Amino acid sequence: MDTRVSGQPFATVADVQNFTGTPDVSDACILVVDDIELNRLLIQVHLIEEGFRQIHFAVDGADALDKIKRLHPDLVILDLLMPKVDGFEVLERLSDMSLPHSPAVIVQTALSEQDERVRVFEMGATDLVTKPITPVELKARTRLHLENRFLLHGLRSYHERLNRDLLLARQMQEGLLPTAHQLDIIEARYGVRLQHAYVSSDELGGDFWGVQEIDDDRLFFHITDFAGHGITAALNTFRLHSTLMQQDHSMKSPANYLAQLNKHLCRLLNPGQFATMLCGVIDIRQNSITYASAASTTPLLGQLSTGNIQCGDPSGVPLGVIEDAVYEDRSLPFLPGHMLFLYSDALTESPDKDGVALMDEGLQSLMTNALRSQDGRNGKVEFLDDLMAAFDARVPRPLPDDLTAVSFQRL
Q: Which residues pair with 197 in a beta bridge?
A: 405
Residue 21 CA neighbour count, 13 Å, CB half: 9
Which CB atom, from 302 or from 318, has the smaller least distance to other proteins? Answer: 318
Q: Which of 359, 365, 397, 398 binds other proteins (CB under 8 A)?
A: 359
244 contributes a contact to other proteins by CB under 8 A: no
In terms of CB distance, is 223 or 321 closer to other proteins?
Answer: 321
CB of 317 to other proteins, least distance (A): 5
Dihedral of the CA atoms 124, 130, 133, 139 (nearest 10)?
A: -50
Cα–Cα dist 133/125, whole Å: 17
Q: Does 400 bind other proteins (CB under 8 A)?
A: yes
What beta strand segments (E) does 200-322 contain? 207-213, 218-226, 275-283, 288-294, 300-303, 309-311
Q: Which is nearer to other proteins, 337 or 400 (CB)?
A: 400
**Cβ count within 10 A of residue 72:** 17
Residue 11 binds to other proteins (criterion: CB under 8 A) = no
CB neighbours of residue 86 within 10 Å: 17
Count interface residues toward other proteins (CB under 8 A): 26
Does 178 interact with other proteins (rule: CB under 8 A)?
Answer: no
What is the distance between the alpha carbons of residues 118 and 99, in angstroms, rounded to a whole number?
24
| Residue 112, SS3 per DSSP | coil
Phi and psi of 136, rounded to 5°?
Answer: -60, -45
Strands 29-33 and 54-58: parallel
> Which listed residue (110, 322, 335, 411) binds other proteins by CB under 8 A?
322
Please select the residue that binds other proteins; options are 39, 195, 262, 273, rule is CB under 8 A.
Answer: 273
Q: In terms of Cα–Cα distance, which of 387, 359, 358 is closest to 372? A: 387
Q: Is 205 in the site for other proteins (CB under 8 A)?
A: no
User: Which listed residue (108, 212, 276, 374) binds other proteins by CB under 8 A?
Assistant: 276
Q: Does 225 bind other proteins (CB under 8 A)?
A: yes
Q: Which of 7, 100, 175, 271 binds other proteins (CB under 8 A)?
A: 271
CA atoms within 13 Å, Cβ hemisphere of 303: 9
Note whether 317 binds other proteins by CB under 8 A: yes
Among the listed residues 83, 191, 272, 379, the single contact to other proteins using CB under 8 A: 272
Verify binding: residue 318, other proteins, rule CB under 8 A.
yes
Query: What 8-state DSSP symbol labels residue 357?
Result: B
Q: Least distance in Å: CB of 295 to other proteins? A: 4
Q: How far apart are CA 395 and CA 353, in angstroms?
A: 7
Least CB distance from residue 221 to other proteins, whole Å? Answer: 19
What is the rounded distance in angstroms from the CA atom of residue 334 to the CA atom of residue 191? 12
> Binding other proteins by CB under 8 A: which of 147, 165, 349, 352?
349
Return the range that interacts with other proteins (CB under 8 A); candidates 74-82, 137-145, 165-173, 272-280. Answer: 272-280
- Under rule CB under 8 A, residue 9 binds other proteins: no
Q: Shortest gap between Cβ of 212 and other proteins (angstroms)?
A: 25
Q: Please answer whether residues 367 and 384 qualify as being in contact, where contact means their C-beta atoms are separated by less than 8 angstroms.
A: no
Minimum CB distance to other proteins smaller for 135 or for 400 = 400
Stretch that binds other proteins, among 18-26, 46-54, 190-198, 315-323 (CB under 8 A): 315-323
Q: Which is nearer to other proteins, 284 or 295 (CB)?
A: 295
Beta-bridge partners for 207: 225
Calpha distance 198→20 (Å, rounded): 36
Contact status: 295 vs other proteins (CB under 8 A): yes
What residues contact 196, with CB distance under 8 A and at least 6 apart? 177, 178, 209, 384, 404, 405, 406, 407
80: three-class secondary structure by DSSP:
coil
Considering only residues 274, 291, 391, 408, which one is a binding residue for other proteins as defined by CB under 8 A?
274
Task: Give the residues lining the site for other proteins (CB under 8 A).
Answer: 225, 227-229, 271-274, 276, 295-296, 298, 314-318, 321-322, 325, 345, 349, 357, 359, 400-401
